[in-house]
Copies of this chain bind each other. A is one copy, B any other.
Amino acid sequence: MTAMQQAYNVYEDRCPTRLVLDRLADKWALLILDRLEGEPVRFNHIRRDIKGISQKVLAQTLRKLERNGLISRTIFPTVPVTVEYALTPLGRTLTDTVSALAHWAEKNMDAIFAAQRAYDETHPV
Contacts and interface: CB of A to CB of B under 8 A. Distances in A.
Interface of A: 1, 8, 10-13, 16-22, 24-27, 30-31, 34-35, 49-52, 66-70, 90, 93-94, 97, 100-102, 104-109, 111-116, 118-120, 123
A64 to B, nearest CB: 10
A51 B19 CA distance: 13
- The oligomer's copy count stands at 2
Contact of A69 (B8, B35, B114): B114
Given A10-B34, A11-B31, A12-B51, A24 B68 contact: no
Given A67-B119, A119-B67, A13 B51 contact: yes
A13 to B, nearest CB: 4
11 contacts: A1-B107, A13-B51, A13-B52, A17-B109, A19-B109, A20-B108, A21-B101, A21-B102, A24-B105, A25-B27, A90-B112
8 A-B pairs closest in CB distance: A69-B115, A13-B51, A20-B105, A25-B27, A67-B119, A13-B52, A17-B105, A21-B27
Contact of A93 (B68, B108, B115): B108
Contact of A115 (B11, B50, B67): B67
